[in-house]
Structure 1
Amino acid sequence: MTPSTPTARISSISHHLTENQFRENSKMASRSQIPDQLPWDPTCDQFPPFKQLPKLPNAPEGAAWVWGSDDQLGRLNLLTPERVKASAAEIRTGELIRLDLPLDVPKKPAFERETFIHNIKTVTKDVVFDDTYALNTQSGTQWDGFRHVIRTHSHQELLQRGKYYHSLIEATSKDIVGEAANHKCSIHHWAVHGVAGRGVLLDYRHYAQVHNKPYDPYTTHAITLPELQECAKFQGLDLRSEFQGGDIRVGDFLLIRSGFVQRYGELSPEDRYTAATRSHGDIAFAGVSRDTDMREWLHDSYFAAVMGDSPTFEAWPVPQGDFLHMSLLALWGCPIGEIWDLETLAVRCRELGKWTFFMTSAPANMPGGVGSHANATAIL
């Protein structure tokens, strides 16, 4: 029966709208992950902030080991088929931009890592050739896997009960090397699952240069969250999550250009070698800060992975010993990419006025592996 008076009709329309709004809110609520409801569903649209993480037995404070009892992927779980398919809409021009430096760059890796060696092998003279590589997976453009570092707050804890990400519970070397070594948290799990989705580039180096904020990427320069927010605003991006009205989507890849690769190209071979062979206490690189605001934003944005052109992603060295690596890798299961070549990508994004793109990476399918070269491509 149709309401007969204007007041009744308005009341009916208001009730109808209220019901629809309730249904929409209920629908949204059903796609919001409840903190204590384990395991978490990676297809949800919204996930708990850091301050609402559930308390997990046998896990360090702040651990987000929430994707199942045998999880090996961490935040790569967020790369669902639906998100990967949706990310393909970022492809506009079809341009392919490789994000790896040549395998022999840097010529001399920092932190006393082995130099890449390439040999040509003659199989049949003048007819057939092979080649061989000898490399440390951390020597150039790289992924830090979950076996790379444990979570610990002190040297004593490191000796007693430091923990790797989720599945490799106790930090004992027998899990990684020797006859009893296993494949828990191995890099090959990433390779089998696949790594592809939407990338978001923050060209902090360009922003700093335009705004007269000079710094040397070979020194400790901490990039704060307010600076990243201003950088994003300069690019026309909003670093809030999508459900807050911003541009960051669950499962995005975050890429930050700090200028290391640019500066590396400007130095002489002698200066590069000198910088790379500094003692551990003297090595310094620009990178993101480790303050509470940055940590909580990185956590709450639910990136599938974070990458940078710096050899350390975070500002280096770390005086307090509270490495951001430990939070990202061991607590949250968030892969870290380092020494990525973002130079060409930054130029094209600037020319196109578009800072999001489709991205793929093929980590090494190496059971038991700790890390991998990235083998990554952006598709514009």
Structure 2
Amino acid sequence: MNDMPRWKNRPEGSNWGDFGPDDQIGRLNLVTPDKVLAAVREVREGRSFCLSLPLDFPGGTAINASRKPPEVQPVMDQGRPNMNFPYSCNNPHHLDVLCDDQVLLTLQYSTQWDSLAHIGQEFDADGDGVAELVYYNGFRGGTHISGPADHQTGGDSGAPSGARALGIEKMAETSVQGRGVMIDFKAHFGEERVYVNYDQLMRVLEADKVVIEKGDFVCFRTGFDEMLLSMNRQPDAKKLRSSFAALDGRDERIHRWIEETGLVALIADNIAVEATPAKASTADRFTALPLHEVCLFKLGVYLGEFWLLSPLADWLRERGRSRFLLTAPPLRLPGAVGSPATPVATV
């Protein structure tokens, strides 16, 4: 550990350095060719499910005021919109008609992946008693992940915005294909708001005979997606946030379960995978998103949010199954800290 280039201290319970001093993909290292082959063997009927919401859901800004729905516009060419544009305007001999558009897209508005650059922490990685802005495996805010504003000084950082390490393109380069495993909270808790602790989670796994193995992508169906779709782009944020079961991010036994299983990602149909707001903490300083801390900051475990899981979960439950082949690469967009996704489950 003393030879690590960016840190002397690593967070308790983290795996920093375990995949190498410069690793940027975390637990995706565990998705070996054998794990992909095991996932392919889960395909029995050749049926596929789209696990993405339409990217203009949830609709509006009621759920997150800073994340706005996509704006699709035609590409402009010499002041003219390229939408139903006849080539004959330029050459009377041409028959072609052109449509060409562009989009202003908030990358984490709808069905999404969080990259390992999405959540970091103020942490004393240098061992000098002073906390730095640090991300997974010791990559630094301001050096490796930067923005136009320096929030500690309140001034202009003078740096271009983006992730020069841990960006979403590192995830995309792995292809993100492996075995998905469905855990159906709605079947056990209905629409009741429940902060699911470790004991409750274990009872669900035992009742449904769900087994999680190293390298798996673990999905939590809560029913949030069905209610959200029924609201048709006019979400009732209060009702959504007060309904459905979600993981209790403060339960340290769940943290150990994530660490010990070797799972690669936690995916849910809800806002944040974990229940928000998190339960109160008695510490003087604490994380607002404890499951994000454990997964993104400490272990290199990815988080998928706002996925469309209910149709697949119902299909699997009717057949006594929980496993499937998951293909879910994000956009290969260098420097981005999150990405929309159009995941596909094949059964």
TM-score (norm 1): 0.72
Name 1:75's counterpart in structure 2. Answer: 27
Which protein is richer in strand relative to its size? 2
> Are the aligned partners of 1:286 and 1:316 in contact in 2 as well (CA < 8 Å)?
no
* Cα distance change on mapping 1:315 and 1:120 into 2, 3 Å: same
Are 2:211 and 1:258 aligned? no
Shift of 1:173: 6.9
Moved more, 59-68 or 175-184: 175-184
Gaps of 5+ in 1: 1-35, 40-55, 238-246
Name 2:200's counterpart in structure 1. Answer: 227
Shift of 1:118: 2.1
Partner amino acid for 2:344?
T
* Cα distance change on mapping 1:135 and 1:275 into 2, 3 Å: farther
Are 2:14 and 1:63 aligned? yes
Which protein is richer in helix relative to its size? 1
Shift of 1:249: 1.4
> Are the aligned partners of 1:196 and 1:361 in contact in 2 as well (CA < 8 Å)?
yes
CA RMSD of aligned residues (A): 2.9
Partner amino acid for 1:335?
Y
Q: Measure the CA separation in 1 of the matches of 2:162 and 2:178.
A: 32
Gaps of 5+ in 2: 76-80, 87-96, 125-129, 148-158
Q: Measure the CA separation in 2 of the matches of 1:311 and 1:147.
A: 18
Q: Measure the CA separation in 2 of the matches of 1:233 and 1:120.
A: 52
Shift of 1:265: 3.0
Q: Measure the CA separation in 2 of the matches of 1:132 and 1:275.
A: 33
Are 2:331 and 1:379 aligned? no
Name 2:295's counterpart in structure 1. Answer: 328
* Cα distance change on mapping 1:360 and 1:180 into 2, 3 Å: closer
Partner amino acid for 1:57?
K
Q: Measure the CA separation in 1 of the matches of 2:144 and 2:252.
A: 34
Q: Measure the CA separation in 1 of the matches of 2:111 and 2:341.
A: 6
Name 1:199's counterpart in structure 2. Answer: 180
Name 1:45's counterpart in structure 2. Answer: none
Name 2:313's counterpart in structure 1. Answer: 346
SS in 2 for 1:147: coil
> Are the aligned partners of 1:187 and 1:366 in contact in 2 as well (CA < 8 Å)?
yes
Are 2:274 and 1:314 aligned? yes
Partner amino acid for 2:39?
S
* Cα distance change on mapping 1:283 and 1:330 into 2, 3 Å: farther
Number of aligned residue pairs: 302
Name 1:125's counterpart in structure 2. Answer: 85
Name 1:241's counterpart in structure 2. Answer: none
> Are the aligned partners of 1:88 and 1:358 in contact in 2 as well (CA < 8 Å)?
yes
Name 1:114's counterpart in structure 2. Answer: 68
Partner amino acid for 1:379?
T
Bigger CA radius of gyration: 1
Kindly provide the CA deviation profile for residues 292-325 of structure 1, in whole angstroms up to 9, marking residues without a partner as x: 1111111111111110111111110023343210
Shift of 1:339: 0.7
Are 2:185 and 1:215 aligned? no
> Are the aligned partners of 2:185 and 2:245 in contact in 1 as well (CA < 8 Å)?
no
* Alignment equivalent of 1:185, drawn from 157, 166, 170: 166
SS in 1 for 2:99: strand
Q: Where do residues 357-372 of structure 1 align in structure 2 (5 Å cutoff)?
A: 357-372=324-339
* Alignment equivalent of 2:105, drawn from 131, 135, 150: 135
